[in-house]
Amino acid sequence: MNVTSTRGGVAELPLADALVGATAPDGGLFVPATFPPENARNPRGPTLADSALAVLAPFFAEDRLSDVLPAMVAEAFNFPAPLVPLRNRHDFVLELFHGPTAAFKDFGARFLAACIRRLHPHGGGLRTVLVATSGDTGGAVAAAFHRMSGVRVVLLYPDGRVSPRQAHQLGAFADNVTALRVAGSFDDCQAMVKAAFADPELAPLQLTSANSISLGRLLPQLAYHAHAAWSSGEMLNLIVPTGNLGNAVAAVWARELGAPIGDIVLATNANRTLAEFFEGGAYRGRPSVTTLANAMDVGDPSNFERLSWTYSDPAVLRRRVRARLVSDEHISRTIQQGERRHGQVFCPHTAAGVWVLEQIRGSSGARTGTWAVAATAHPAKFEGIVEPLVGHPVEVPPALAALLDRPSHAEPLAADASALRRWLLDHA
C-alpha cells in the first residue's frame, strides 16, 4: 500500500518510506493513498496478535516489510488488552496499560521500533528518534528503543506538567535515551519537534518521529479496537479519552475497515478545541490549559488533520464522531466513586471516559447497546491525584516499579525551536 499526504501535495510513496519520517514534505500527515477495503468484519484468530496481523496486513500488502510483518506483530503485541466488565456487567473498560510502561502507547511504540529495527541499515549512521510527550508517549518510546543499535532517542516534555512518576520514568533509561524538560507546555514541545523536522540543517541527523503523527505509531492502534469489538460478540460502542487524537483516529479507521464498532465518543478535558468543534463551531486551535488529565492537555491536536481527511465534510464528521468535555471536578468525582460504583480504580484519563459513559447511560434514549471505555494508563502513574481520592495506596505494576527504582535525570531546555536545534547539533 502506498501513502500520500492529508494535504494532497506530494506524490505517493511506499509505506515503509513514510515510517522512517514524520510529516509529509508538504507539511501534512501521511495517510493511505487508497484506504484498504473492509477486511475486518470477522475475527481472524483468538489472540490480540492474530487480530493485529489481520488488521495490518492490507496496509503492508506489497510493501518491503510485508514478509516480516508477522515477526513485528509478535514483538509488539506480546501482552494483553483485556475487555474487563464493569460492575454492572453491561459495560466494559478496554485495559490498554499492561505493557512495559503501563500505558496504551506501548503498543504503537513497540511496533514502530520493530519497523525501524528492520528499516535502518547497519552502518547507516545514527538515527535520531525525536519525541514530544505529555507524559506517556515518551516513556513508551524510550522503553521500545532503549539500547537499539544505531538509534538515539530525544524526549521533550513540559517541565512540571507531567506526574512525578511519569517524569521519573522519562529520565530513567539513560544509554541512548535523553530526556529534555522544556520550560513550557506540551504545545511548545510539539511545535519545537515539528520545527526540527522542517529544518534542512538537521537533515543529516536522520530524524524520525515517534509521536502519533507517525503512521507507524498510529496503525497498530487499530488492532486493539478491532479485537475488542470482535471479543465483545456484538456491536461495540467506544469512548476514547483523547488529547492529540491518535487513538481516536485509530478507532475510526478500525470501524472504516469493517470492525463491528458503533458509536465513537471522544472524552476531552477542559481544553475546549474538540468539544467546541463537535458542538458545531469552527475548528480553532489555542494554547493548552493544565488539567488533572495531563496527557490530554492539547490545545491544537495534530491528528485532527487525519480525522478531517477521513471525513472531509464537517457535517459527516460530526455525525460519525461525537465529543464530550469533562471538567477536573467530574474527573475527581469519578475517581473517588470508581470503586463503589464500578469496582475499579481509574487514572484521570480513563476517569474522563467513565464520566462520559455515566452521562450516556443516564440520558434519555441512550441506554441501549454495549459500551467500552479505553483505559489508557494505569492509575499508579498518577498516585498524587488518585490515592488521596480513593483513600488508599494503588499497587504499582512490576515493570513500572522497576523503572521507578532506577536513577532519573533530565536536562533543562528553553521552550524555543532554536534551543532544540542547538542542542541537537551540539550532541550530533
pLDDT in tens, 384-428: 999 999 999 999 999 999 999 999 999 999 999 999 999 999 998
* DSSP conformation letters of 109-158: HHHHHHHHHHHS-TTS--EEEEEE-SSHHHHHHHHHHTT-TTEEEEEEEE
What is the percent of the chain with per-residue pLDDT over 90, rounded to a whole number? Answer: 84
Q: Is residue 415 part of a domain?
A: no
| Statement: residue 19 has pLDDT above 80 | yes
Amino acid at 218: L
Instruction: Give the model's pLDDT for residue 134.
Output: 83
Task: Please report how the helices 221-232 and 246-256 are oriented relative to each other, as an axis angle in degrees rounded to 10.
Answer: 50
The mean per-residue pLDDT over the stretch 143-171 comes to 95
Helices (H), 154-303: 164-170, 186-197, 215-218, 221-232, 246-256, 273-278
* Residue 138 to residue 41: CA distance in whole angstroms: 34
Q: What is the pLDDT of residues 74-83, one digit of tens each?
A: 999 999 999 9
Cell of 23: 510529516
In a domain, 202, yes or no: no
> Does residue 250 lie within any of the structural domains?
yes
**pLDDT for position 41:** 60
Average pLDDT over residues 97-112: 96
On whether residue 241 sits in a domain, the answer given is: yes
Res. 42: pLDDT tops 80: no
- Answer yes or no: is 336 within a domain: yes
Instruction: Give me the helices (H) in 257-299, please.
Output: 273-278
Total residue length of the chain: 428
Domain span at 332? 81-104+217-395
- 391 C-beta neighbours (distance < 10 Å), count: 8
Domain with 248 in it: what CATH number?
Answer: 3.40.50.1100
Over pLDDT 70: what percentage of the chain?
97
Per-residue confidence (pLDDT) for residue 180, from 0 to 100: 98
Residue 151 falls inside a structural domain: no
Which has the closest alpha carbon to 96: 256, 223, 269? 223
Is residue 26 in some structural domain? no
Question: Residue 333 corresponds to which amino acid?
Answer: R
Average pLDDT over residues 226-235: 93
The set of cell numbers assigned to 90 is 453491561
The 3-state secondary structure of 69-111 reads HHHHHHHHCCCCCCEEECCCCCEEEEECCCCCCCECHHHHHHH
Encode pLDDT of 84-98 as tens digits: 999 877 899 999 999
Of the candidates 150, 132, 272, which has an alpha carbon nearest to the alpha carbon of residue 210? 132
Report residue 366's pLDDT band, with 50, 70 and 90 as the boundaries: low
Which pLDDT score, from 0 to 100, does residue 256 have? 93
Domain count, the chain: 1
CB atoms within 10 A of CB 46: 11
Q: Note the pTM of the prediction, 2 decimals.
A: 0.94
Please give the pLDDT value at position 221: 97
Evaluate whether residue 149 is within a structural domain.
Answer: no
